[in-house]
């Protein structure tokens, strides 16, 4: 067993053939963990290898893991459906089309799992955020604002994770009815401040402030390992299933 095998407490039940759609920072981090777990990467798709998205290639995979770009995720996922391959996607910045792809998945009896954040820590943080927002629903003396910090190559702002956190806040703290990606003093608006500082893999902060005190919760990723490990666990989990899923079903 190598270092990664020991660290991820690997008990391999079945080896999978994986198609990696998007072979950038995340694709490579996923490859390292998947290979350490004994899985085989049979396809690596980047901007120069688009022909590998054709059915004749993709259908050889047991599962596809898609971390590409906001512009390409939708088409990539449709190609997985065409090839009858379950797809795990973490791409952010295209959430306006997410409900459409979920409907197509249901209609075509395919398998699709998307989350804005695959790390176990952030998925626990989502639950903490919801509970804190529930408690803050009846405490109007607290204002709430958020901050997210990522590396300078990130294409989308606010981050997908920040948008998930904001939706959770607004579902409970109903005095906030919309978010804005800047500093705002509008009472009904939830400010999300985006900072781009290398090499930050991903930090999310929720601040509740009142005249009397402040409450802050935060999650800081130390590397991409948590995102990548979560995506591989989701890929192992989805095999043989049909439907639309999130990381909540996998973890809790
Ligand atoms: N949900 C989660 O837990 C996480 C989500 N993310 C999200 O994942 C996405 C990718 O992040 P990251 O790996 O850092 O980004 P990178 O920019 O490092 O990688 C993106 C990859 O997509 C490739 N690509 C470009 N066009 C296509 C296409 N048409 N089909 C397939 N691949 C294509 C790029 O190819 P080339 O290099 O040739 O241009 C590159 O290999 C982002 O949206 C990010 O926000 C990131 C971390 C965690
Ligand atoms: O682009 C990134 O790097 C990340 N993207 C995801 C997001 O937009 O929330 C998840 C993580 O924060 C890293």
Share of the chain above pLDDT 90, in %: 92
**Whether pLDDT at 78 is above 50:** yes
- pLDDT bracket for residue 1 (50, 70, 90): very low
Q: Which of 90, 128, 108, 95 is nearest to 204 (CA)?
A: 128
- For position 152, what pLDDT does the model report? 98
Domain span(s) for CATH 3.40.50.720 in the chain: 3-118+225-251
3 is catalytic: no
Taking the centre of ligand 1 as the mean of its atom positions, its distance from the CA of residue 55, in whole angstroms, is: 21
Q: Which CATH superfamily is domain 3-118+225-251 in?
A: NAD(P)-binding Rossmann-like Domain (3.40.50.720)
Of 22, 32, 122, 158, the residue with max ligand 1 atoms within 8 A of its CB, to mutate for a pocket test, comes to 22
The H-assigned helical ranges of 14-97 are 25-36, 55-58, 73-82
pLDDT value of position 14: 82
Q: Which fold has domain 120-220?
A: Dihydrodipicolinate Reductase; domain 2 (3.30.360)
Query: In the annotation, is 57 catalytic?
Result: no
Write out pLDDT tens, residues 206-227. 999 999 999 999 999 999 999 9
Q: Is the CB of 34 under 6 A from ligand 1?
A: no
Q: To test the ligand 1 pocket, which listed residue (46, 98, 156, 235) has its Cβ within 8 A of the most ligand atoms?
A: 46
Query: Which pLDDT band holds residue 34 (cuts at 50, 70, 90)?
Result: very high
CA distance 252 to 249: 6
Average pLDDT of the chain to the nearest whole number: 95
List where CATH 3.30.360.10 sits in the chain: 120-220
Residues 6+ apart with CB under 8 A from 20: 27, 30, 31, 41, 43, 44, 45, 64, 65, 67
pTM value? 0.95
Return the pLDDT at 6.
47
């Amino acid at each position: 067993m190598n270092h990664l095998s020991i660290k991820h407490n690997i008990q391999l039940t079945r080896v999978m053939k994986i198609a990696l759609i998007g072979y950038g920072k995340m694709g490579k981090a996923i490859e390292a963990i998947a290979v350490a777990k004994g899985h085989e990467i049979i396809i690596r798709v980047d901007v120069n290898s688009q022909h590998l998205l054709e059915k004749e290639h993709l259908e050889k995979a047991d599962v596809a893991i898609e971390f590409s770009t906001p512009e390409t995720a939708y088409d990539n996922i449709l190609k997985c459906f065409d090839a009858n391959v379950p797809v795990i996607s973490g791409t952010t910045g295209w959430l306006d089309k997410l409900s459409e792809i979920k409907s197509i998945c249901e209609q075509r009896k395919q398998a699709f799992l998307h989350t804005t954040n695959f790390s176990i820590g952030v998925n626990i943080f989502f639950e903490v955020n919801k509970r804190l927002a529930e408690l803050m629903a009846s405490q109007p003396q607290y204002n709430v604002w958020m901050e997210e910090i990522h590396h300078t190559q990130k294409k989308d702002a606010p981050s997908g994770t920040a948008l998930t956190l904001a939706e959770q806040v607004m579902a409970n703290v109903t005095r906030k009815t919309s978010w804005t990606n800047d500093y705002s003093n509008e009472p009904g608006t939830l400010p999300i401040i985006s900072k781009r500082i290398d090499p930050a893999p991903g930090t999310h902060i929720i601040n509740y402030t009142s005249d009397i005190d402040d409450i802050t919760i935060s999650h800081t990723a130390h590397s991409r390992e948590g995102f990548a490990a979560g995506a591989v666990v989701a890929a192992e989990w989805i095999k043989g299933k049909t439907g639309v899923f999130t990381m909540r079903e996998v973890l809790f």
